[in-house]
Amino acid sequence: MATERLQFHQMGLDDRLLKAVADLGWSQPTLIQEKAIPLALEGKDLLARARTGSGKTAAYAVPVIQRILASKQSVSEQDVRALILVPTKELGRQVQTMMRQLTAYCSRDVRVADISGKADVSAQRPILMEKPDVVVGTPSRVLAHLNARNLSLQTSLQMLVVDEADLVFSFGFEDDLKNLLCHLPKIYQSFLMSATLSDDVQALKELLLHNPVTLKLEGSQLPDSSQLQQFSIQCEEEDKFLLIYTLIKLQLVKGKTLIFVGAVDRCYRLKLFLEQFGIPACVLNSELPIQSRSHIITQFNQGFYDCIIATDERTVADPAATSKAAGKIKNKGGKAKEKEYSVSRGVDFQDVVNVINFDFPATVESYIHRVGRTARADKPGTALSFVSHTETALLSEVEEMLTGDNAESSLKPYQFKMETIEGFRYRCRDAMRSVTKQAVREARLKEIKQELLNSEKLKTYFEDNPRDLQLLRHDQDLHPAIIKPHLKNIPEYLIPEDLRGRFNPLSNKRRLKRTNQKPKPHGVAKSSFKGKNPLRSFQYTKRDRNKKQSRS
């Protein structure tokens, strides 16, 4: 007999917190929240292995807020009670946003400050002087404040969280973290959240946790196939472009989509290529300034864009090309920026329906992080990987991991007949011819310049006028390639027989144009796909083959 799930209202939480949870539309806790929140409220130290998108932020944020609210009933003195360490600025922002949402009805009692951002240490001093209840930051930034005596935790700290602990290590914060521990009191409650329980994380566990409870909730690091469907299709370089163009243009890919490529240049190559067909897309990579990156993610989450082309490079793949393309602009950014940035990790892209690996990820870990951007919380998702002959070994590694991890999550071949889109090849080649190396280089430079300008604007003007943020779009055409207007439309005769009449070739318009339009609800296909994800449903099955055979 199935045991009843524990609900938020059965956890003894403050009404203000419950109200905020209800406003977020969370009908019940995720598995990690159900297990972690009661244990944390009992005062236990926790080590939780939780896959990305499992709701792990709230798993520690809810008890942190609850304990602060409870302690304020007896001690009213304002002091820093909780410290949340994160590996990246993006994650810092995200954690702060989630904390703000959860403290919407008690924001005076639980004040949160995110100091992971770019601002100067001295500029952040006044924020810390006000002694916020919760401080969110990267280890190096927190340590800088401790050393500058802007922050003191010796007497007040009650809770420490290390989020994405494995990344805190791989991003090189180990020493800072160790130094930081000298500034903490002897007794405090700790939470360690990590996607993997690596040796580094185990070592940190020894250092930080006292008699911890270890939660390894999911057998697999990705949801099973009832929630996340994973497909792969063999195709070489030219076919990758042909396929992505037709999948989008024929609306077989619909809804919010993240397309991953292997290098920064590839982002612009693909963006310029899609531009030729009137398909708008944003580019997200480590070269863009932090404000722009955050703004793109925020707008994507608000429904402004359907498509982001992203890299998840930890260091820029082609440094020579980068510095040549970006010149002084790039050099100013310095290395630290690259070290701290990785698109697919930890960042909460909301309501992503499809993840497409245009280039197959270089490691199994990267596959998990990329694909983990969809099917988050309890939502469904689809991942499709294009695999060239040079990438098949990597595909086998991923398949091995998936079947070893959980037989329920496997990678199936995407049954798509490339010959049905052969008629599009000529147009595809035509478009590819316009996307020259020179065009890509120019696009890359133009975008960085544009985004640096945006970034400045964002920092100054938009801080005072947050509503106007909507006016700034990041999916504008870059245009360094010659545009051939006829490519934007598809003549009826090119559409595969099975799809004729199933979609409107003119409906591929840019989303939410600078207005107050509301975003479309998640994943709803308007066409005759009847709410199903078209990518999942448009596949040639054995039945199709038999049908065709019997017809002939």
Q: Which residues sit at the interface with ligand AMP, rule CB under 6 A?
A: 26, 29-30, 33, 53-58, 348, 350, 376-377
Residue 22 CA to residue 28 CA, distance in Å, equals: 9
Instruction: Say if residues 19 and 105 touch (Cβ distance below 8 Å).
Output: yes
Smaller CB separation from ligand AMP, 338 or 351 = 351
Smaller CB separation from ligand AMP, 5 or 433 = 5
CB 114 to ligand AMP: min, Å: 16
CB 53 to ligand AMP: min, Å: 5
Smaller CB separation from ligand AMP, 30 or 194 = 30
Q: CB-based contacts of 146: which residues, under 8 Å, 6+ apart?
A: 152, 153, 180, 183
Packing angle, helices 319-333 and 437-464, rounded to 10: 20
CB 348 to ligand AMP: min, Å: 5
Angle 126-135-104 (CA atoms, 0-180°, nearest 5)? 100
Give, for 216, the enclosing helix (H) or strand (E). Answer: strand 213-216
Smaller CB separation from ligand AMP, 348 or 475 = 348
Q: DSSP state, 517?
A: P
CB 152 to ligand AMP: min, Å: 29
Packing angle, helices 174-181 and 199-208, rounded to 10: 10
Smaller CB separation from ligand AMP, 369 or 376 = 376
Smaller CB separation from ligand AMP, 142 or 195 = 195
Smaller CB separation from ligand AMP, 266 or 370 = 370
CB 26 to ligand AMP: min, Å: 4
Smaller CB separation from ligand AMP, 28 or 390 = 28
CB 525 to ligand AMP: min, Å: 22
Smaller CB separation from ligand AMP, 220 or 527 = 220
Burial class (CB in 10 A: 0-12, 13-18, 19+), 38: middle
Residue 381 CA to residue 336 CA, distance in Å, equals: 33
Site of tokens 């792969």: 232
Q: Which long-range contacts (CB under 8 A, 24 or more apart) does 270-274 make?
A: 270/241, 270/244, 270/309, 270/358, 271/309, 271/443, 271/478, 272/434, 272/435, 272/439, 272/440, 272/443, 272/478, 272/480, 272/481, 273/241, 273/245, 273/431, 273/432, 273/435, 274/244, 274/245, 274/248, 274/307
CB 55 to ligand AMP: min, Å: 3
CB 325 to ligand AMP: min, Å: 33
CB 549 to ligand AMP: min, Å: 46
Q: Which residues of 357-383 are buried (b: 16+ CB within 10 A; e: fewer)?
A: bbbbbeebbbbbbbbbbbbbeebbbbb
Residue 376 CA to residue 538 CA, distance in Å, equals: 23
Q: DSSP state, 38?
A: H
Smaller CB separation from ligand AMP, 305 or 416 = 305
Smaller CB separation from ligand AMP, 195 or 235 = 195
Angle 108-109-112 (CA atoms, 0-180°, nearest 5)? 80
Number of helices (H) and strands (E) in the chain: give both, helices first: 20, 14
CB 204 to ligand AMP: min, Å: 20
Q: SS3 for 260-307, per residue?
A: EECCHHHHHHHHHHHHCCCCCCEEECCCCCHHHHHHHHHHHHHCCCCE
CB 346 to ligand AMP: min, Å: 8
